[in-house]
C-alpha cells in the first residue's frame, strides 16, 4: 500500500442551520479542526452535534456560513463526488441488505468506477473480520460485525476524513470497547482526520485528542481530555464529565 497522506483540516466559518421556527439547530459555529486530529463532538440529544457533522458531507445544507476542507469550500462541486472522498459511519450502519458483505464494502469502489474485490477483502482484514464473512448477507452478522463492515466500507476508498455519527450507540459495552479501539488504531495507522459524534463523555475522553461540547446549537467547550479532567471547559462540560467520574469513584468504592 502506498504511503497515505494526512487527512484534511476542517474549518467551520459562522455555520448556522435552522429548521422552521424552532431555535437554531446549529448557531453561528466557527472553529478549525487540525489535520490528523481525532475530535469528539459531545452533547445531549438535540444539541446540534449531528447536524453540525452532516454539514461537512452536505447531508445537511447550512443556511449560513460555509464549511472548508483545507482551503476548499465543500459546497463547490457536486455532492456525490464530495461524499465519495469522505468516510461516513452512522449508528444505523445502513448496510445494504440485498448485497453481501464484500459487495457492500466494494460498493464505493464500484461507484468510483474502479471495482476491486481484493481491496474489499483487505478492508475486512483491516477491521479484523475473517474472510469467510465476505459472502454472508448483512442479516447474518452480529451488530458489532455489521458496524465493522460499515467502517470498512467507509474507508475503502482511502478517504482522509472519517465522519462518525454515534457509531457505537447500538452496541453492547464489550463490543463497543473493542470496536472503539479498532477505530482509534485505524485513525493512527491511516493518519486520518476523524470527527466522531457521541453523547458518551467517557468514550470521548478515552478516544479523542480534542473534545467539543455542544449545547443549543453552540460549541460551549473546546478542550483536550486532560484539560477537561483537570476541571477546565466550563459548567456544561464539567456536568458531562462528572457522570463517568462519579461512576468510576463508586465502582472503586465498591471494590475497596
User: Could you list the residues that contact another protein (CB under 8 A)?
Assistant: 57, 59, 79-85, 88, 90, 92-98, 107-108, 111, 153-154
Decide: 219 and 213 in contact? Cβ < 8 Å.
yes
CA 154/CA 123 separation, integer angstroms? 10
Cβ contact 155:126 at 8 Å: yes
Closer by beta carbon to another protein, 82 or else 182: 82
Instruction: Round to whole Å and give the CA distance between 152 and 131.
Output: 13
As a whole number of angstroms, the distance between CA 256 and CA 254 comes to: 6
Nearer to another protein, 159 or 225 (CB): 159
From the CB of 2, what's the least distance to another protein, in Å?
Answer: 22
Q: How far is the CB of 151 from another protein (least distance, A)?
A: 12
Please, what is the minimum distance in Å from the beta carbon of residue 179 to another protein? 18
Smallest distance, another protein to C-beta of residue 45, A: 18
Nearest distance in Å: CB 137, another protein: 9
**Residue 94 or 143: which CB sits closer to another protein?**
94
| Residue nearer to another protein on the CB measure, 197 or 240 | 197
- Smallest gap from Cβ 215 to another protein, in A, equals 25
Distance from C-alpha of 171 to C-alpha of 189, rounded to nearest angstrom = 24
Pairwise CA distance, residues 201 & 219, whole Å: 15
Of 148 and 210, nearer to another protein (C-beta) is 148
**Grid coordinates of 203:** 468514550
Q: What is the DSSP string of 66-85?
A: EEEETTEETTSS-HHHHHHT
Residue 225 CA to residue 198 CA, distance in Å, equals: 14
Closer to another protein by Cβ: residue 147 or 221 = 147
Among residues 217, 187, 176, 172, which one has the least CA distance to residue 15? 217
Amino acid at each position: 500500500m502506498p504511503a497515505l497522506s494526512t487527512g484534511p483540516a476542517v474549518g467551520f466559518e459562522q455555520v448556522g442551520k435552522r429548521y422552521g421556527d424552532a431555535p437554531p439547530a446549529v448557531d453561528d459555529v466557527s472553529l478549525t479542526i487540525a489535520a490528523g486530529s481525532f475530535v469528539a463532538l459531545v452533547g445531549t440529544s438535540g444539541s446540534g452535534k449531528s447536524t453540525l457533522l452532516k454539514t461537512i458531507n452536505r447531508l445537511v445544507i447550512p443556511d449560513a456560513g460555509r464549511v472548508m476542507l483545507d482551503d476548499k469550500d465543500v459546497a463547490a462541486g457536486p455532492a456525490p463526488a464530495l461524499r465519495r472522498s469522505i468516510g461516513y459511519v452512522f449508528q444505523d450502519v445502513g448496510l445494504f441488505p440485498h448485497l453481501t458483505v464484500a459487495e457492500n464494502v466494494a460498493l464505493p469502489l464500484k461507484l468510483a468506477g474502479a471495482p476491486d474485490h481484493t481491496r474489499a477483502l483487505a478492508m475486512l482484514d483491516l477491521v479484523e473480520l475473517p474472510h469467510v464473512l465476505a459472502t454472508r448477507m448483512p442479516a447474518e452478522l452480529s451488530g458489532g460485525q455489521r458496524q465493522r463492515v460499515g467502517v470498512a466500507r467507509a474507508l475503502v476508498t482511502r478517504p482522509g476524513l472519517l465522519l462518525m455519527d454515534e457509531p457505537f450507540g447500538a452496541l453492547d459495552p464489550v463490543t463497543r470497547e473493542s470496536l472503539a479501539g479498532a477505530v482509534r488504531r485505524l485513525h493512527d495507522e491511516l493518519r486520518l482526520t476523524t470527527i466522531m459524534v457521541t453523547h458518551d463523555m467517557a468514550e470521548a475522553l478515552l478516544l479523542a485528542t480534542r473534545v467539543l461540547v455542544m449545547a443549543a446549537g453552540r460549541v460551549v467547550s473546546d478542550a483536550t481530555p486532560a484539560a477537561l479532567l483537570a476541571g477546565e471547559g466550563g459548567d456544561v462540560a464539567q456536568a458531562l464529565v462528572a457522570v463517568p467520574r462519579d461512576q468510576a469513584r463508586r465502582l472503586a468504592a465498591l471494590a475497596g
